[in-house]
Amino acid sequence: MSQFSKMKHSREQWKEKAKRRGTAERYERREKTRMKSERDQLTEALKASEARVHEFETQRNGLTTRPKGDVVHFALQLFLEARISFRAVSRVLALLAGALGIRKAPCAQTIIHWVIRLTIVRLDAARTWRGLPLDSAPFTSGLIWMIDLSIGLGAGKILAVVAFDAHHHQWESGAPTLLHAHCIGVAVAHAWTGETIADFLGRLIATLGRPAAYLKESGSDRHKAVDVLETRGLGSPCIDDISHAAAGMLKRIYQDHPAFERFLSACGTASGQLKQTLLACLAPPTVRTKARFMHGHRLFTWADRVLQLSPPGGAKSGSM
């Protein structure tokens, strides 16, 4: 046999082997694809069966699975009406999941997302909200804007503007609540000055119109913002918050008073001795340093009650 014939014969054998090997591999790939498809179908069928079994069990036990909308509404009511934290809302829903027919209680981050979405919707809806204008200011939106600054995002400060109807006290017997107030603007900046606050309020005025009045604390930056708006022809009457005004007067009188310093020192000493003991319920209330004169009545009320319960000389020697 010549060399060419040997090479031709070898090539034919190689082709046959390649065909057989390719046929086997193609068959194996088809089988793997078929088994994977059947496995996925069985997995979906198993999940659907488990869901039907769970539904039948809840119906047999007298419970029905609540729609997601009901769960969202209940979670928002706990946060807005009951005034509990996001984690507390999640724990309450987890505790009542069986009784309410909730398959899985939402986590705290999910509840935060729901609150953010509700906030966006309410901010958009507030742009069309109007109150009845006052007779003395017929060209205003009829709303009183409450302006406040707070530290909310790290070093950034949040400027919030909340509005309520100027005729509220004519229609309602009590103070405005969360149902009567509408947040119309929120902004965050590293620092706020009178000019930047005036610019932000000017953008709100361009959308909502001038307010009937501003309600604010007695801060210099807020005073400056109102003055800047007045020079721009967008001024409105200004009302100082009585609680901040009273706190400012108390601060000017008692900030450096030696008796007040001794009183605060005594409250701190009592707090350190009573906390982490059986008498922790008698510890003085926590008052922030920056808002000390706004909530000073809490300390005074606590001290008066404690002195009535335990007059000098009434405790036995060596007792707590």
Name residue, tokens 């078929």.
Answer: 34
DSSP string for residues in 210-249: --SEEEE-S-HHHHHHHHHHHHTT----EEE-HHHHHHHH
**Using CA atoms, how far apart are residues 106 and 98, in angstroms rounded to an integer?**
14
Residue-wise pLDDT tens for the chain (320 aa)?
677 777 777 778 888 888 888 888 888 888 899 899 999 999 999 988 888 887 777 666 555 566 788 888 888 888 888 888 889 999 998 888 877 778 788 899 999 999 888 888 877 766 666 665 655 555 577 888 888 887 666 677 888 898 888 888 888 888 888 778 888 888 888 888 889 999 999 888 888 888 888 888 777 788 888 889 888 888 888 888 787 778 878 888 888 888 888 888 888 888 888 888 888 888 888 877 766 777 778 888 988 888 888 777 767 777 76
**3-class secondary structure for 12-77?**
HHHHHHHHHHHHHHHHHHHHHHHHHHHHHHHHHHHHHHHHHHHHHHHHHCCCCCCCHHHHHHHHHH
- Give the C-alpha separation, 192 to 201, whole Å: 12
Helix (H) or strand (E) segment spanning residue 145: strand 143-153
Residue 134 corresponds to which amino acid? L
* Dihedral, CA of residue 118, residue 119, residue 125 and residue 130, to nearest 10: 130
Distance CA 64, CA 55 (A): 7
Structure tokens at 238: 């200004």
| Short-list 219, 248, 93, CA closest to 159 | 219
Q: Report pTM.
A: 0.54
Q: What pLDDT score does 320 carry?
A: 65
Distance of CA 174 to the CA centre of its chain: 26
Contacts of 150 (CB under 8 A, 6+ apart): 157, 158, 160
